[in-house]
Structure 1
């Protein structure tokens, strides 16, 4: 069970933020129910992650690949369970998804994917990206996409940290909203 109770989206002071979430996500799941405790943060969260997910020029496959890699590194099962099906729908194979936790030893990832995964690993595990890893990513991604890749990785590290710190689980019961 989560560390604090999930917010009730029907609460009058949460309705506006709840509607922002519904307009984007169609439903208010566990993570967003928790974020509703801080309505301005919930609304800003939706705005930022809508930009990261829907207004990026990165391929959906690459976006979801790094999101799932972050979930694997951080042990964020909620994040993995939410994004693995999206990764498959965006073009990752089940074999790639299975190899993602140990991608460096796999032959299933091309040069661009390997550069993105190395960049993701460095940002997630070390924060400071070594110059050779940064150069490899910079050589393959134009500036806009490098910024999009960087913010996707940073953003989804934030997601997993919120999920894990507050012990948000997809199996937690949610009261009707």
Structure 2
């Protein structure tokens, strides 16, 4: 069970942020119910992650690949469970999904995917990205896409850290929406 109560979106103090979340996501997930305890944070969260997910030139498959890698590294099952189906819809194969935890020894990723995974590993595990890893990404992506990849990795590391610090789980019971 989460370390904080899941907020009731029907409460007046949550209504505006809840409506903002519903307008973007159609429903209010466990994560968003937790964030609703701080309505301005919940609304800003939606705006930021909508930009990352829906207003980016980064291919969706590459975006989901690094999000899943972050979930694997950080031990964030909620993040994995939420993004595995999206990854498949965005073009990942089941073999790629299965290989994410041990990607370095897998032959199912192309050069761009391998460069993005190495960049993701460096950012997630060490924060500082070695020059050769950064150059590998820069050689394959536009400057805009490098920024989008970097922000996606940084942002979804934030997601997994919030999920795990608050012990948010997708099977926690929620009151009706």
- Deviation per residue, 1:41-74 (Å, 9 max, x gap): 1010000000000000011100100000000000
1:148 and 2:148 aligned: yes
- Deviation per residue, 1:78-127 (Å, 9 max, x gap): 00000000000110000010011000001100000000000000000000
Residue equivalent to 1:43:
43
Post-superposition offset of 1:9: 0.4
After the TM superposition, which segments of 4 or more aligned residues of structure 1 sit over 4 Å from their partners? none
Q: Where in structure 2 are the equivalents of 1:48-63 lying within 5 Å?
A: 48-63=48-63
Residue equivalent to 2:26:
26
Residue equivalent to 1:77:
77
Once residues 13 and 86 of structure 2 are traced to their aligned partners in structure 1, the CA distance between those partners, rounded to angstroms, is 32
Q: Where does structure 1 lack aligned partners over 5 or more consecutive residues? A: none
Q: Secondary structure at the match of 1:27?
A: coil
Post-superposition offset of 1:128: 0.6
Residue equivalent to 1:14:
14
Once residues 38 and 130 of structure 1 are traced to their aligned partners in structure 2, the CA distance between those partners, rounded to angstroms, is 37
Post-superposition offset of 1:138: 1.1
Give the TM-score normalised by the residue count of structure 1: 0.99
Residue equivalent to 2:118:
118
Q: Where in structure 2 are the equivalents of 1:150-169 lying within 5 Å?
A: 150-169=150-169
Residue equivalent to 2:97:
97
1:2 and 2:2 aligned: yes
Once residues 4 and 145 of structure 1 are traced to their aligned partners in structure 2, the CA distance between those partners, rounded to angstroms, is 36
Q: How many residues align?
A: 177
Post-superposition offset of 1:14: 0.6
Once residues 64 and 126 of structure 2 are traced to their aligned partners in structure 1, the CA distance between those partners, rounded to angstroms, is 21
Once residues 76 and 94 of structure 1 are traced to their aligned partners in structure 2, the CA distance between those partners, rounded to angstroms, is 19
